[in-house]
Structure 1
């Protein structure tokens, strides 16, 4: 056999081998379609099922916290409720002085306005409609406020802490 024939035969074998490998890698046109699913990026938010009574339990606790904080503020003894306040809220309330002629009466209604998760904190905004008594004018005042409560998601402390107060009316 001549060297030219061997060269052609060698190139033919290589070509057949390459065609076979390409066909096995790329597939064929016999109508078989293979779906390759990509993995989705994991989101940091994981929704969980929250029992229905959780919000009512939270509002009961928020109403009690409201009463305790307002009464401590009016009695100029805000240190008494420091476990219910963030350090910033504690400093702000310690520096401010409560008017002596206004006395807290009761929480008329409360409702959760917002419930969200930011970074590692859980945040709830609560709207309080309350009655206060003006001793000087002998009248009842209706006050509407939005209070923001926060809690570290991984905290073992069950208490939510007040971090903001917004006077609505």
Structure 2
């Protein structure tokens, strides 16, 4: 009788042990599987780092990467470094119309330079102002376009008919600034703003001052446009338009 109860006790506890083994296996089996996978990945990394990196990439395929909001690190001189793997970009300051026009002229005429042009423009300004005051149409002819020459000559002829004389003293050119530049077909055009100091006196046939003051220096602003055919052998520019500032 006692032996029978012992046999039943053994069966009962044995069933409990089997049940616990299956429960533990069902729980621990998943963890062991992941641990084995990690162990294999570590072993692969030790033997073949490239293969291990590719495996990790496949595991992360379903991960959505967020934009990198981290602040770029500063270098020793205070500059910011671009994020790793991205080329550093430098934004170029866009050229204005004037720079673009000057570049077009330099393309058509490689010998053109802003500095040398302004030097020649100042010299031409002085020659034209003095020749106009003196009524020297021969000196004006090669410096002016046909249209401008006709206007200048007309004013000179009118002055002579009136018996008037214009005396101009160019004290100096305070500034010469390029306002516009461009290329149309073969014709290059550059517009310059001249600010000069002048003494202008107009007298009649009797020598009486009818305009101006010989003791007063006046600041005069002129806006002149020069043009040149870039295909022509003649390197000289001609005055093609004049105007006063608005």
Q: TM-score of the superposition, structure 2-length normalised?
A: 0.46
Count of aligned residue pairs for this structure pair: 125
* Structure whose alpha-carbon radius of gyration is higher: 2
1:65 equivalent among 119, 124, 131:
124
Residue 86 and residue 65 in structure 1: after superposition, are their counterparts in 2 closer, same or farther (change >3 A)? same
Task: Answer whether contact 1:65 1:84 (CA < 8 A) is retained.
Answer: yes
Flag the structure with higher strand content. Answer: 1
Bigger mean CA offset, 52-61 vs 80-89:
52-61
Flag the structure with higher helix content. Answer: 2
Superposed CA RMSD in Å reads: 2.7
Gaps of 5+ in 2: 1-103, 160-164, 202-211
Where has structure 1 moved over 4 Å in runs of 4 or more? Answer: 49-53
Gaps of 5+ in 1: 1-44
The 5 A counterparts of 1:1-169 are: 48=107, 54-97=113-156, 100=166, 102-135=168-201, 136-137=212-213, 138-168=215-245
1:58 CA displacement: 0.3
Q: TM-score of the superposition, structure 1-length normalised?
A: 0.65
1:49 CA displacement: 9.2
Aligned partners of 1:77, 1:46: CA distance in 2, in Å?
32
Task: Answer whether contact 2:145 2:240 (CA < 8 A) is retained.
Answer: yes
Aligned partners of 1:109, 1:88: CA distance in 2, in Å?
26
Query: Which structure exhibits the higher relative contact order, with contacts defined as CA atoms closer than 8 Å and separated by 6 or more residues?
Result: 1
Bigger mean CA offset, 80-89 vs 128-137:
128-137
